[in-house]
Structure 1
Amino acid sequence: MDSKFYADLSQDLLLMLNDAEDYNVIIQTGDNQNIKEFRASTFTLFYKYIHTCEVDLSNQSGNDILGVLFASDELLIEKLFIYVQDHLIEKQSVWVKENYVPVLHTIAKFPSCKKLYDHCVKSICADPQSFITSKNFSSLDKDILYSLLERDDLNIEEIDAWDCLIKWGIEQTFSLESNNNDRTKWNDNNFEALKKTLNQFIPLIRFVEISSSDFFNKVRPYRALIEIKPVNIISNWIERKNGKNPSFNKKYKFDLLYRSSRDGINANTLRTRCNNQGSCLVLIKHHQSTKIYGGYNPIGFIHSNGHYCYTKDSFIFSFENSEDIQNMKISRVNSNHYDYAIDEHYSNGFNFGDTLIYTLIIQVIMIML
């Protein structure tokens, strides 16, 4: 009698699963706050897999296959999970590409889906244009967007990254969204709200790689959002972020070692305070000009007299003023002169190569990294 009962129940369940539209069934597992829901069409595949150890995904939609992936993970059916994840990568790549945002939102919650997540990220980085122009992009989770923008291998022009960030930020900001995206009608509160939304993302944009015309036309109108300081730009240069393969997320602590207005203009005092302190940054501002000059010494200053030091990472630079990031200039060591990059001469303060910078005629700020 029991075997007949289970046989009938099994047959009824199979009929129900094969005609989910008529039954309009959502199957729940778990209890209390740990309830998981599966569509009947997803459960059909499980039922057949459990009884036959076979699964056919050829006629299933991408959404249903994604549902099978998570159901197999929840039910700890490892072999099925691995098979379905590989199927999405190898056989459903077009669907995945067309639905990057909802797919990423779903799989980001499951550490076991790392293979599929990495596949999506790698594909986006290689060809981000279709992704950033997709209709769902503005709803992308902020943590996922941040992780993409901070990558070294994201193949996107900086101005395009800026454009898509502004677009995303507007849609994510209450009181702006698509019905109030006319910037000419914004007030200070609108800009402040957008700034709060984008605050953590702004440092990820490499403004030094944006052309002057694009900066003027596309970045400058949103200047209220940006707080770029010379120290941020110099940090980029130290990491060589003005190149095509910049590094990210290095944090620096700047300690003031010597300042002429505080310590007096004296080469001996400068050397006493700055020698053997590690990598050093020199900032110079003439009292009759807004220009800022400086240099970075990755070796640091040592007690020496007439000795050249080898490095390929030092550089000298200039700013027209602390607010003008478009007229910055940087000069790195010529590859033929690495052996002469730093000229250590104790009595003359600091020297970069054969160019001597006399501390007696300028105000100097020395900062250690």
Structure 2
Amino acid sequence: MTTKFYDRLSNDLTQLLENPIDYNVTIEVGEEPASQIYEVHSYILQSRSPYFKKKFNESPFNENHVKELKMPNISTKVFNVIINYIYGGTISLEKLENSIIFDLLIASHELDLDELVEYLQTHLSTNNASWLRLNFAHVYQTSFQKNFKIIQKFCNNIIAKHPDTIFESENFNSLPEDVLISIIRLDDLQLEEDKIWDYVIQWGKVKNSDLPTNLNEWTSNHFLTLKTTLKNCLPHVRYFSISGELTLKKLYPYQQLFEPKLWLDINTRFLAPNSPISSTILPPRNILKATLPTRTTPILSNVITDAHALEISSWIDRKETPYTENNPYEFKLLVRGSKDGFDVKTILEICDKVSNTVIVLKVEGTGEIIGGYDPLEILNNVQRWYSSQDSFAFSLKTENLKNSIVSRVTNYRSAILYNSSYSYFQFGGILCLRGNLKTVDRSYCDTGYYEKRIRSNTDGFSVEEIEVFKVTPKK
């Protein structure tokens, strides 16, 4: 039986890092003037990282018999974690922001730290799924650039169930070809085949901005240009799953993109269904059968829709994938500005001692819908900050805002403020409501104590309508 004393070994090597006796390498990390120099030992780093082994073989010693490396693209915060892992085999992520952990993953990949790369991918997909979803486009593209298999699988599962996540994002048209192909190859992609065709054509056109907008103006050269751009994508569209009507409507105008044999087979399927077809027929996608939704009472609101309510409920439950039907919560209207008044003091009085509330506002003149979720009991006559880990503010998707924004509290102690004396109601500094919301424009949105802005500016605003709902689980 072999006894392993790893803890002592880890501690001794970490002490060597802190007191680098006989070091023979210096690494300057970060950009000047904020860079930091680490004194380390080549035999430890090259035994742990193929990257460092290669670098040390390429780098000569200086006159002091020390090799000098520079790593300006890695932050000292990230490198501190990496160097402690290399020496002591330990890692602590508790105090790191999710963005730093993702940077750590990228740096670990660059340094060929395979064990750490796998661990960080698992950690992010298991414990920080909401952050991955919030930064989905960047995460997804990076996962392909760096070949992060675990995160790729996580992202593909989301795309398959909720294709709008990527197809309707502002980053869709800039997707690299290999990323687009990986998506349209998914067997369980929950999207009709004709719509997949539409998105592929859209992507190809964006890559060739000189193509005429009007298809009637296209020449054979225009079609050839698009066909060349899409040559690796087109084989993954499942043409034989598209109905005859949609084939005529959507494929026929682009028939010059098809090889003659494939186009003949597509038409043969409808004209002579029993005739043999030589083209490869990809299996239809595994589209989940829709179930009849439970009959629900639509939300009684002048500001938000049932879809908005589902999205807010998903945020309350911190769901990785949003609810699309059967809202688990009931939204009971407590306050409507046009009926009860727009003064913040009035709202606090009506909602006194009520917890788990959602406030929604329609901004005057812009059509924006913003608001927040307050899990705490509203206290009308007490003026102070209250602590919460579950409050959040948001902007909801409208005609002018392509995607909703949710911003969760980061400074828990300053999550919510009630002050009826001054007619204040605040979600940190991110949503600050002041006085009469209809007649004055003293309310504003900033970034204080929450993750990010929910409006693009900090200008004061008034509201067209405001509503407050009590949110309770359905029985």
Taking structure 2 as the reference length, the TM-score comes to 0.40
Q: Name the structure with the higher helix share.
A: 1
Taking structure 1 as the reference length, the TM-score comes to 0.49
